[in-house]
Structure 1
Amino acid sequence: MSADKHLQSWQERFEMAEAMQPLLGKLYRNQGVEVVVYGKPLLNASTIEIIKAHRLVRRHVGEKLRLRESFPFVQALSKLAVKQCKVDIGKLAVNYWRDHTDVSEIENYMAKELADAIDHADDVAPRDVVLYGFGRIGRLLARLLIERTGRSNKLRLRAIVLRGGKKGDLEKRASLLRRDSVHGPFNGSVEVDEENNAIIANGTYIQVIYANSPDEVDYTKYDISDALVVDNTGIWKDEAGLGLHLKSPGASKVLLTAPAKGSIKNIVYGVNEGDITPEDIIVSAASCTTNAITPVLKAVNDKYGIENGHVETIHSYTNDQNLIDNYHTADRRGRSAPLNMVITETGAAKAVAKALPVLAGKLTGNAIRVPTPNVSMAIISMNLNAETSKDELNEYLKDTALQSPLQNQIDYTDSTEIVSSDLVGSRYAGVIDSQATIAEGKRAILYVWYDNEFGYSCQVVGVMQTMLGLTTLSLPA
């Protein structure tokens, strides 16, 4: 292909991606339809991100999906009365073009494939969400909830609750939402309403409430009712502490974004969210590490069986460590986080059993905090019940990442150059680094990357939706 043809091809793809954007936006805002390409979300995607999502189709089916081949499906979708669902136009397009050579039957094909979602009754009422705490996870959850803003959105961020309230606090909180040293600028506009103590982000009106205890707030004063309170503070971890939220008028359920104590269910979305019942009013979304390793461990155990294993977490430093050497109640964590590797404990390995009881008593774990601000790695060493090899294990995990019910939790890379910063912003619970896999006989070691902030926050949103009964129909099945 000549240089001019390369440029012409790129121009065509770019223009197609640009033409898709307004259609994708209207489908979500007006009909609650989220469009994906083999699981890659296109909601609020840039033109380059849309092009990249199409390039990745080759990993799934061994051949390219051109934007000119998928664009007619977006057009057809925009003409159908489809509501409240997730539609994979990548799968629809690939399946169609295997048996057809023209566009004449696309609308009929789409109507048949999406029949279950056409004129689907939209009788589920929107639910209010309150973020109690606005640190690393709280602000990322806010970003994820705000990006879904629209008339069809059922998960509505109504308020954030903070301690204190010193002069200038509101503007500083807004500034932290606007700018993030790790995840970059907020995708949109953030305004401050000083008079009413609120932040307005992309049209989402967020009431800012100051309180020192979970039971001090009357949410009904802000027209908030039957709300899910997401506790991001990590201060209260048992039923007695988290139950304080339920004493506040307007709050009906609580989700903890940390491992819980006692009999509270620890949920890893994609693995055991089916354990959540309508009667569960306090639930935990476990830890970032537990979310990263549990889907992978489930996949391996389902095929090979795990006799026992050890998980070593290479974890980015967190806000509970010190910037410079200073007093800390925990061992070693008082030493400067940006200057040291720090051995510390983790309960993630044992916590796996709460989401995956079959592995109870089979795993040990430890952690090393390292001088990076985000993205961590779990090294999972296992003794299996069946023999395997590196190639066989990798092929199985690749298929799991692409085709299985765990495809939204597990990603897979065969890059020989990938490093931690490349995974910032990954929406997956964990990413298998296949080049580092070691397997021989019944012994296997896996290296799993994870964005311990953003990837975990995506998992939390899944638990939120499940707790509120806001599960989405995914098509094609």
Structure 2
Amino acid sequence: MTANDDSFTNWKTREEIAESMIPLIGKLHRERDVTVLLHSRSLVNKSVVSILKTHRFARQIAGEELSVTETLPFLRALTELDLGPSQIDLGMLAATHKADDRGLSVEAFTAEAVAGATGAGKIERGEGRDVVLYGFGRIGRLVARLLIEKAGSGTGLRLRAIVVRGGGDQDIVKRASLLRRDSIHGQFQGTITVDEASGTIFANGNAIKVIYANDPSEVDYTAYGIKNAILIDNTGKWRDREGLSKHLRPGVDKVVLTAPGKGDVPNIVHGVNHHTIKPDEQILSCASCTTNAIVPPLKAMDDEYGVRRGHVETVHSFTNDQNLLDNYHSSERRGRSAALNMVITETGAASAVAKALPDLKARITGSSIRVPVPDVSIAILNLQLERETTREEVLEHLREVSLTSPLRRQIDFISAPDAVSSDFIGSRHASIVDAGALKAEGDNAILYLWYDNEFGYSCQVIRVVQHVSGVEYPTYPAPAV
């Protein structure tokens, strides 16, 4: 047998193992609300090839490829446990078991590592929480995809309705079509049908009522059987407490804004300050995509090195706020063609840092350039540190943060030498550290942080909603603090 034959046989064997993992992962998700992860990447509803690629990607951050032969025993051990709703990381289980010197079996080690999700201390599955989307644009449709994907057993977040302004004939059909097909993010993973008579979109069995209204005051959500709902406003029309309070109608309990909040509206970056949300807070903001991209790595650097001052330059993909061709715009420069120009514009991300990181003493400034790509941006974070360091030390610190810290769902890490922006379409992290581009010398460090300003941000929004709804399940093994 040749080396080529050996390689192909090995591939087919790994395919077979990955195929055997799919029903186990699916059953845990549907029946117990357990999400199986691999280094913070969900394996739920993934294909054989996707599972294998996710295992291989571990080489980018952990230094060596993780094999399905290593993780399958841990997955099988999980199926034998009486698990409650949780997120369990197979990559972390395998890594911590390898580092453990007690000689425990996979079964015994797994039971110990996820003990908080079993027995009397486990979370009991609830009735679920209603969610309403106010607006159905770029972020609204991606949040809808995520809510439908995470429906699981039906006891978590439930997308009950979307509220939009009437758009004429076949409005609901056209909106369903935009949910079904996306030029950037591809096809919806599942089936979508429309009942025009009842004004309902059915997506993977989820019945989503389409409500037409020009103002929040026109809607009584209880008339649609919606109660105690979290409303996600992705229009950006109202950003202060007075405006967003219009959404607090019968059937709606909390309002989450997918744009920077103004005044006393809390700006929340999940992973950094979501724990500061007061239980009785009814209105909050998820800040901006750029704020979510820079705040977690800024916190990671400040915690380790201290930050004296910094500047963030964002090279940002164009958005619907710009014109395709030159035309009047209320903002300077944004009236010029987005598809043909680099456009200097403002960013509020730097000033928003203070709301998310009030203990940060450093002054952070910022500016932005819009460029002719439809998605994925990069933030260049230039920091003066309180102590000197080396490039190797900073890389090792950020790599470890992306693997084992409480920020591992926010910060990703890649060392691929030929990575470009389109490689990060669909990333679920708030930002991705580009190891090859990072610079550090003395007390200066320059971080290059990729982020999918649409999908990665939408994932952060969902995490905040999960937290305030009480269905943000704990992750095991627990990340290092």
TM-score (norm 2): 0.95
Counterpart-to-counterpart distance in 1, 2:216 and 2:57: 45
Tell me what 1:422 maps to: 423
The runs of 5 or more residues in structure 1 that have no matched partner are none
Counterpart-to-counterpart distance in 2, 1:267 and 1:113: 30
Counterpart-to-counterpart distance in 1, 2:464 and 2:186: 25
Q: In the alignment, does 2:19 pair up with 1:18?
A: yes
> How far apart are residue 100 of structure 1 and its match?
9.6
Indicate which of 184, 191, 201 corresponds to 2:186.
184
C-alpha distance 213-383 of structure 1, shift in aligned 2 (>3 A)? same
Tell me what 2:196 maps to: 194
Tell me what 1:128 maps to: 130
SS in 2 for 1:436: coil
- Report the aligned-residue RMSD: 1.9
Counterpart-to-counterpart distance in 1, 2:27 and 2:397: 38
> How far apart are residue 402 of structure 1 and its match?
1.6
The aligned amino acid for 1:155 is L
Tell me what 1:268 maps to: 269
C-alpha distance 287-475 of structure 1, shift in aligned 2 (>3 A)? same
Aligned positions, number: 475
Tell me what 1:398 maps to: 399
Tell me what 1:208 maps to: 210
CA contact (8 A) 1:114 1:475 kept: yes
Q: 1:319-334, aligned counterparts within 5 Å? A: 319-334=320-335
CA displacement 1:204-225 (0-9 Å, x = unmatched): 1101001111221111111100
CA displacement 1:196-242 (0-9 Å, x = unmatched): 10110111110100111122111111110000000000000001110
> How far apart are residue 68 of structure 1 and its match?
2.2
Counterpart-to-counterpart distance in 2, 1:415 and 1:69: 24
Tell me what 2:110 maps to: 110
SS in 2 for 1:249: coil
CA contact (8 A) 2:127 2:155 kept: no
> How far apart are residue 169 of structure 1 and its match?
0.6
> How far apart are residue 101 of structure 1 and its match?
13
The aligned amino acid for 1:306 is V
> How far apart are residue 475 of structure 1 and its match?
1.4
C-alpha distance 352-79 of structure 1, shift in aligned 2 (>3 A)? same
SS in 1 for 2:359: helix
CA contact (8 A) 1:198 1:206 kept: yes
C-alpha distance 35-358 of structure 1, shift in aligned 2 (>3 A)? same
CA displacement 1:2-35 (0-9 Å, x = unmatched): 1111000000111111111111111101110111
The runs of 5 or more residues in structure 2 that have no matched partner are none
Q: 1:226-241, aligned counterparts within 5 Å? A: 226-241=228-243
CA contact (8 A) 2:312 2:382 kept: yes
Q: 1:263-342, aligned counterparts within 5 Å? A: 263-342=264-343
> How far apart are residue 123 of structure 1 and its match?
4.9
Q: In the alignment, does 2:376 pair up with 1:375?
A: yes
Tell me what 1:155 maps to: 157
Counterpart-to-counterpart distance in 1, 2:432 and 2:262: 28
> How far apart are residue 152 of structure 1 and its match?
4.7
SS in 1 for 2:186: coil
More displaced, 318-327 or 148-157? 148-157
Counterpart-to-counterpart distance in 1, 2:397 and 2:105: 36
Q: 1:90-105, aligned counterparts within 5 Å? A: 90-96=91-97, 105=105
More displaced, 180-189 or 41-50? 41-50
Q: In the alignment, does 2:49 pair up with 1:40?
A: no
C-alpha distance 353-9 of structure 1, shift in aligned 2 (>3 A)? same
Q: 1:61-80, aligned counterparts within 5 Å? A: 62-80=63-81
C-alpha distance 100-349 of structure 1, shift in aligned 2 (>3 A)? closer
CA displacement 1:442-477 (0-9 Å, x = unmatched): 122111110000000010111101111222121122
SS in 2 for 1:17: helix
SS in 2 for 1:81: coil
SS in 2 for 1:7: helix
> How far apart are residue 99 of structure 1 and its match?
6.7
C-alpha distance 408-150 of structure 1, shift in aligned 2 (>3 A)? closer
> How far apart are residue 57 of structure 1 and its match?
3.6
Counterpart-to-counterpart distance in 2, 1:115 and 1:309: 42
Tell me what 1:407 maps to: 408
Tell me what 1:52 maps to: 53
Counterpart-to-counterpart distance in 1, 2:409 and 2:389: 25
SS in 2 for 1:265: coil
Counterpart-to-counterpart distance in 2, 1:235 and 1:385: 41
CA contact (8 A) 1:65 1:94 kept: no
C-alpha distance 309-190 of structure 1, shift in aligned 2 (>3 A)? same
Q: How much identity, in percent, do the aligned residues show?
A: 53
More displaced, 129-138 or 298-307? 298-307
Tell me what 1:172 maps to: 174
Q: In the alignment, does 2:363 pair up with 1:362?
A: yes
CA contact (8 A) 1:316 1:370 kept: yes
The aligned amino acid for 2:145 is R
Counterpart-to-counterpart distance in 2, 1:100 and 1:2: 35
CA contact (8 A) 1:28 1:152 kept: no
The aligned amino acid for 2:112 is K
Counterpart-to-counterpart distance in 1, 2:456 and 2:333: 27
> How far apart are residue 418 of structure 1 and its match?
0.4
TM-score (norm 1): 0.96
> How far apart are residue 343 of structure 1 and its match?
0.6
Tell me what 2:467 maps to: 466
SS in 2 for 1:277: coil
C-alpha distance 396-96 of structure 1, shift in aligned 2 (>3 A)? closer
Counterpart-to-counterpart distance in 1, 2:82 and 2:21: 18
Counterpart-to-counterpart distance in 2, 1:123 and 1:29: 12
The aligned amino acid for 1:174 is A
C-alpha distance 98-238 of structure 1, shift in aligned 2 (>3 A)? closer
CA contact (8 A) 2:308 2:361 kept: no
> How far apart are residue 97 of structure 1 and its match?
5.4
C-alpha distance 121-468 of structure 1, shift in aligned 2 (>3 A)? closer
